[in-house]
A and B are shown apart, each in its own frame.
Chain A
Amino acid sequence: SQKIEQNSEALNIQEGKTATLTCNYTNYSPAYLQWYRQDPGRGPVFLLLIRENEKEKRKERLKVTFDTTLKQSLFHITASQPADSATYLCALSPDNYGQNFVFGPGTRLSVLP
């Protein structure tokens, strides 16, 4: 069956450290994978998109990798800050038409001062 999983429900790290979140998928062949941030009571906010032919993508303190062989994406936040505390969701499209996305369950990141 098709599945998209994120490594842990919650992750606590100390301020200044690098947070690494994992997204694994089964029985999908996505051409793209996206990462979103969601704060409590609000809608998700798009962060980064990575294509299947891209190994790595960076945006400021954020870095995403995409390994289609392992069927895995890693999301890194370097020099983490308490303001980075939120739930992070990965999402992929199961087909090649339209804007329907399958989302992972999310990882709730807490950056402790």
Chain B
Amino acid sequence: KAGVTQTPRYLIKTRGQQVTLSCSPISGHRSVSWYQQTPGQGLQFLFEYFSETQRNKGNFPGRFSGRQFSNSRSEMNVSTLELGDSALYLCASSLGGTSRQETQYFGPGTRLLVL
């Protein structure tokens, strides 16, 4: 079974631009969560999508948004990029139940550098 894939793997943008990252979950998984990882703040939850609906949201500004398609693929968008948005963006997929016993499978991440 193919793992979680994320595209692109690396991205360089300038301040003020916007960016869209893509995540394809494991086949059959309906939940996709997005995380931001930085050396200073660690791994922080952005939001979770399930069945095309945002089910949970972390404490990030509205510049960070996402969506999920009917095939469970998900995209996240960051508008008006700031230098502090430079990070590794990870997505994780799971079956989609509400049980905490579900395993999350992470993708390799997209490394975003904002200049």
Main secondary structure of the interface of B (DSSP, over half): strand
Q: In residues 59-115 of chain B, which contact A (Cβ within 8 Å)?
A: 90, 92, 94, 96, 98, 100-109
Known: A43-B90, A89-B43. A100 touches B109 (CB 8 A): no
- The reply to whether A99 and B102 form a contact with Cβ atoms under 8 Å apart is yes
Known: A93-B100, A98-B56, A99-B48. A43 touches B42 (CB 8 A): no
- The reply to whether A43 and B56 form a contact with Cβ atoms under 8 Å apart is no
Known: A102-B45, A104-B42. A32 touches B100 (CB 8 A): yes
- The reply to whether A46 and B105 form a contact with Cβ atoms under 8 Å apart is yes
- The reply to whether B100 and A42 form a contact with Cβ atoms under 8 Å apart is no
Categorize the interface residue count of chain B. 20 to 34
Instruction: Give chain A residues whose Cβ lies under 8 Å from the Cβ of B55.
Output: 97-99
CA distance A44 to B106 in the complex (A): 6
CA distance A101 to B37 in the complex (A): 13
Q: In residues 73-109 of chain A, which contact B (Cβ within 8 Å)?
A: 89, 93, 96-106
Instruction: Give chain A residues whose Cβ lies under 8 Å from the Cβ of B107.
Output: 43
Instruction: State which of B33, B108, B109 has its C-beta within 8 Å of the C-beta of A99.
Output: B33
CA distance A9 to B105 in the complex (A): 24
Known: A44-B106, A46-B105, A100-B33. A31 touches B100 (CB 8 A): yes
Known: A42-B108, A46-B105. A100 touches B45 (CB 8 A): yes
Main secondary structure of the interface of A (DSSP, over half): loop
Q: A45 near B: Cβ within 8 Å? A: yes
Q: A112 near B: Cβ within 8 Å? A: no
- The reply to whether A99 and B101 form a contact with Cβ atoms under 8 Å apart is no
Q: A49 near B: Cβ within 8 Å? A: yes
- The reply to whether A99 and B94 form a contact with Cβ atoms under 8 Å apart is yes
The 4 closest A-B pairs by CB, nearest first: A43-B106, A103-B43, A32-B100, A100-B56
